[in-house]
Amino acid sequence: MTEYFEIHERDGAARIGELRLAESLSTPAIADDVLADAGSLWPEDRTVPEGNESALTVLPHRGLPAGTPEDVQDAFAVDYPDVDYPSAAVISPDTASNQGSDAYVLSNAAGYAGHARAFVDAMLQTREATPADSALYLPGVATPMNVATLVYAGADLVDTDRAVIRGSRGFYQTTDDEYFLEDLDELPCACPACQVPREEFDREDCAEHNANALAAELKRVRRRIRDGRLRDYVEGQARHEQWLTATFRRLDQQYSYLEQRTPVIRRAEITAATDDTIRRVEIQRFAQRVTERYRSRFSSPLVLVPCSATKPYSESQSHGQYHDVIQWRAHVASMTSPIGVVPQELETTYPAQHYDSVVTGEWTATEIEFVSDVLERYLRRNDYPKVVAHVPPEGYREIVERATADLDVDPIFTVEDHPTTSDSLANLAAELDGELQYPKREREHNTIKAIADYQFGEGAGEAIFHDLQTQSRYPKLRAHDGNGEQLAAMVPQYGVLSLTLAGARRWVDSDAPVKRVEIDDFVPHGSVLAPGVVDASDDIRPGDEVVIEGPSAFGIGRAEMSGPEMAESTRGIASEVRHVEER
């Protein structure tokens, strides 16, 4: 049972935690000053130290190198005792298990540095086998250049050993390179160690600088996690060393590992600066839900339009011009990189209004392949009487043609040179001539149901909101039942639905999959702490709407951690509680 480590914030596999010692340490952090090593069992037997709450004690251990045969590992396995002070157990990926410790030290972590496949495999195997609310310590690995990627992969604690050793050998480290000290005519740093004249700066100063640079980089990483933007930073920073670039790309291939830990909503903007952004969990998840959960409820033609820099799109000048022509006579979907296809009902749903991309005027081959694939899947799922592509010729037209090549769809292109020219808008108007407008009521109802499908699962819109009335104005719609009781409200910041107790009961009674948090016999107020959780649905993700049920309470709230983490954690907030009633 973890007693001295608690996670406060999450950004994918990276976390902001607290090592609760006599003087608390915010993680990810350098462990040098808080670590007490009880020693190796290889040279001699050692007694379990008394320990205290001022340090994290590494219990007597046997470290094993990578590649040690399984039977040898089993023969020399250590049974770690249950102690009443902050403790850490030394493990390998193959021997990792719940030892009841607050932290786990990855044996031979330095051996994985420089090898993306081995490092990612070791991290995933270790993190999956150890408790979610325990810290993971990677000794002898961290440098200012790689620590952001280490944390992105799931590390909580590091040390300065590698940085200091390299400095003592005359290697000057920064966040983007490592230099021979003799090659530097000036020092590119303003830390205390670098304040001496260049000719007096020696290897001892270099070691101190490296440690300072590592500590500074960890501060930057913690800030990025709190902002929900570590991935944006890693995409750029990791490119300074090939194995780091390979590492985050291999992590992208381990979708389930990152997806389970990545919030479904957040306010942080995604910076789409490279093709790697397309492989992010948030992007892939949106595309998957649009092509597997969403279904258009409009019987009118589809008009494909380009995205806009302004978010949500409908507030942009260009989309205002499209609307003046379309006048609710067609269903509109925006084509964009890196998101893919965004139906008008989901234009505020995260991350559709939470990204900014680099605009060069040209599409990359990766972007064309991704967006055309999403559009093809979207058109296979939704049957429109007519598809009008009101998009620029460059890039967009190729995407539409590729997406419809194997479909029984003959898209009509209406743009001569630019979508907002008079001739192009006139062509669009001509294609919609004779089409009937769909009423405001239909538009609002379809928006609520589309968001419900996206958020809760296919068919949830009809199952929960089968007798729907809407109030207020988009994007702050409120959903009521036929008797006027409120079921949900649209949250404009995230484009999702916030359920009331009545809406939660409908969700539970529907055929839609329900994300449940089973709690002990108490009535929660404000939040549910992890120790009070009996069980939780495996598919719960941070930010999900969840039903909270126990012998004495029924409630609705928003998850702060994933379902598996709720079920096994002993500290931390599992879910916020919005509404609750006593049974």
Average pLDDT over residues 463-485: 96
Confidence of residue 44 (pLDDT cuts 50, 70, 90): confident
For 262-310, the pLDDT digits (tens) are 999 998 999 988 899 999 999 999 999 999 999 999 999 999 999 999 9
Report the candidate in 140, 134, 129 with the shortest Cα–Cα distance to residue 65.
140
* 553-559 vs 573-582, strand pairing mode: antiparallel
Which residues are paired to 550 by β-bridges? 553
Angle between helices 161-168 and 203-227 (to 10 degrees): 150
Q: How far apart are CA 265 and CA 559, in angstroms?
A: 11
Write out pLDDT tens, residues 108-147. Answer: 899 999 999 999 999 999 999 999 999 999 999 999 999 9
Q: What angle do CA 532, 538, 539 make, to 5 degrees?
A: 120
Q: Which residues contact 202 (CB under 8 A, 6 or more apart)?
A: none
- What are 128's two structure tokens? 């999956």
Quickly count helices (H) and strands (E) in the chain: 17, 29
pLDDT digits (tens, 9 = 90+) for 501-537: 999 999 999 999 999 999 999 999 999 999 999 999 9
- The DSSP secondary-structure symbol of 486 reads E
**How far is 217 from 211, CA to CA, in rounded Å?**
10
Kindly report, as residue ranges, where domains of CATH 3.20.20.105 are found in the chain: 5-258
The pLDDT confidence band at residue 42, using thresholds 50, 70 and 90, is confident
Give the count of beta carbons closer than 10 Å to the beta carbon of residue 174. Answer: 17
Q: What per-residue confidence (pLDDT) applies to 528?
A: 97
- The rounded distance, in Å, linking the Cα atoms of 11 and 233 is 12
In the chain, CATH 2.30.130.10 sits at 457-582
Give the pair of three-digit tokens for residue 350. Answer: 């995260």
Sheet holding 5-11, edge to edge: 5-11, 14-19, 25-27
Q: Mean pLDDT, to the nearest integer, of 416-425?
A: 95
CB 404 within 8 A of CB 411: yes
pLDDT tens digit sequence for 204-240: 999 999 999 999 999 999 999 999 999 999 999 999 9
Residues contacting 52, CB < 8 A, separation 6+ = 22, 85
For residue 1, pLDDT beyond 70: no
CATH number of 457-582: 2.30.130.10
How many CB atoms neighbour CB 72 within 10 A?
Answer: 10
Q: Write the DSSP symbol of residue 399.
A: H
Tell me: pLDDT of 70 over 90. Answer: no
pLDDT over 80 at 66, yes or no? no
Q: Where in the chain is the domain with CATH 3.40.50.10630?
A: 274-431
- DSSP, collapsed to helix, strand or coil, labels residue 434 as coil
DSSP string covering 125-175? HHHHHS-TTSEEEETT---TTTHHHHHHHT--EE-SHHHHHHHHTTEEE-S
| Structural class in CATH, domain 5-258 | alpha beta
Give the right CATH number for 274-431 from 3.40.50.970, 3.40.50.12280, 3.40.50.10630, 3.30.465.10. Answer: 3.40.50.10630
3-state secondary structure of 384: coil
Query: End-to-end distance of the chain based on CA atoms, in angstroms?
Result: 31
Rounded-to-integer distance, Cα 537 and Cα 155, Å: 26
**Are residues 290 and 344 in contact, defined by beta-carbon separation less than 8 angstroms?**
no
Confidence band for 60, pLDDT divided at 50, 70 and 90: very high
Cα–Cα distance between 225 and 262 in angstroms, integer?
12
Phi then psi for 156, rounded to 5 degrees?
-115, -30
State percent of the chain over pLDDT 90. Answer: 89
In this structure, how many other beta carbons lie within 10 angstroms of the beta carbon of residue 244?
23
Using CA atoms, how far apart are residues 573 and 558, in angstroms rounded to an integer? 11
